[in-house]
Structure 1
Amino acid sequence: MKLRISAKLASVHSEVNVTDLEEKTVFTTKTDPLSAPRCTRLYDAEGVELAHYETTRTDEKDRAYSVSIDGGVSFTTKRSFRVSSSTCEAIIKVGQTGWTVPTQRAWSSRFEVHSEDGKVLVRAKQVPALRGDVYDIEVLDEDHAIEMVLLALIARSVIRDDAPIPV
């Protein structure tokens, strides 16, 4: 399944669209900018809430998230850097699942989701010619499509938040 993640026009990262190749909405997210902990909700195309994830505003060290999916599935994520002296490559560990999300931040950022045995479950690459943090993702594990989309959304946020702020 091939999808595109992009912020809605004029939303300042609080609303995101996930569309298919025909640009039809598959999922949307809404983040309450004043919530503490910061809560983002994932909705299907009909507006039914499927899941949510939370992080505290002060969690700069681990960029940790707590994810809850309707039906009782939940997991946590925690980011660490591959090399302690560089913020260009990070690994997001997904507790309880064994999944990892190696990220690379560069001119065109990218990430993958790997299973515990190293199998690639998602491939994603930033689309540099488009406005904002737009990513094309390919979900290879459709049995866990919602989890993979949630991890893609989290990885996108972690990459954006880890970018150095221009002076």
Structure 2
Amino acid sequence: MKLRISSKLASVHSGLEVSTVDGEVLFTAHTDPLSSPRTTRVVDASGTEVACYRTSRSDDKDRAHHIDFRSGVSMDLKRSFRVSAKTDEAVIRVQPQGWMVVTRRAWTSRFEIRTEGGRVMARAKQIPALRGDVYDVEVLDDARVVAIAVLSMIARAVIRDDSPSPV
């Protein structure tokens, strides 16, 4: 299955859509701009909330997130850099599952979501020719599509927030 994550029209960072490459919207996410901690709610196509994730507004160092899924599963995410002197490769650890999201920033950014054993569940690549931070995500584990979609939204935001500011 292939997904596309993009900003909703007229929404720079507060609204996201996850759709199939054919354009069928599967999930939408909306961030409450005044919430503290920053709260993003993810709903499916029928309008049912499937997940909610939070991050502290002052958390620039670790990019930590907490996810609560409708199924009752929770995840805690924390970003670290693979090499402390370089910020182009980061690892987002997902606990208690033991998963990780490995991000790379270059001409086009990309990431992989891996199980505790290192098996790739999803891989994504930024599509630079499209408006905004658009990513195509190849889902290799269809049973975890909701978790993969939410982790992909967070990975996209971490990559964007870790990017150096233009001088």
Same fold (TM over 0.5): yes
Percent of aligned pairs with the same residue? 57
SS in 2 for 1:46: coil
Q: Counterpart in 2 of 1:34?
A: 34
**Cα displacement (A) at 1:35:** 0.5
Q: Counterpart in 2 of 1:113?
A: 113
Q: Distance in 2 between matches of 1:161 and 1:61?
A: 11
**Offset from partner CA, 1:94-124 (integer Å, 9 cap, x none):** 0100101110011100000011111000010
Q: Counterpart in 1 of 2:96?
A: 96
**Cα displacement (A) at 1:9:** 1.4
Q: Which amino acid aligns with 2:127?
A: V
Root mean square deviation of aligned Cα = 0.7
Q: Distance in 1 between matches of 2:132 and 2:110?
A: 14
Q: Counterpart in 2 of 1:67?
A: 67
- TM-score computed with the length of structure 2 as normaliser: 0.98
- TM-score computed with the length of structure 1 as normaliser: 0.98
SS in 2 for 1:63: coil
SS in 1 for 2:125: strand
SS in 1 for 2:67: strand
Q: Counterpart in 1 of 2:126?
A: 126
Q: Counterpart in 2 of 1:157?
A: 157
Q: Distance in 2 between matches of 1:52 and 1:58?
A: 19
Q: Distance in 1 between matches of 2:133 and 2:115?
A: 25
Q: Distance in 1 between matches of 2:125 and 2:12?
A: 21
Q: Which amino acid aligns with 1:159?
A: I
Corresponding position: 1:19 with 2:19: yes
**Cα displacement (A) at 1:71:** 2.1
**Would you say how many aligned residue pairs link Structure 1 and Structure 2?**
167
* Matched ranges for 1:46-61 at <5 A: 46-61=46-61
**Cα displacement (A) at 1:143:** 1.2
Q: Distance in 2 between matches of 1:61 and 1:134?
A: 24
Q: Distance in 2 between matches of 1:53 and 1:91?
A: 18
Q: Which amino acid aligns with 2:153?
A: L
Q: Distance in 2 between matches of 1:151 and 1:111?
A: 10
**Cα displacement (A) at 1:21:** 1.9
Q: Counterpart in 2 of 1:86?
A: 86
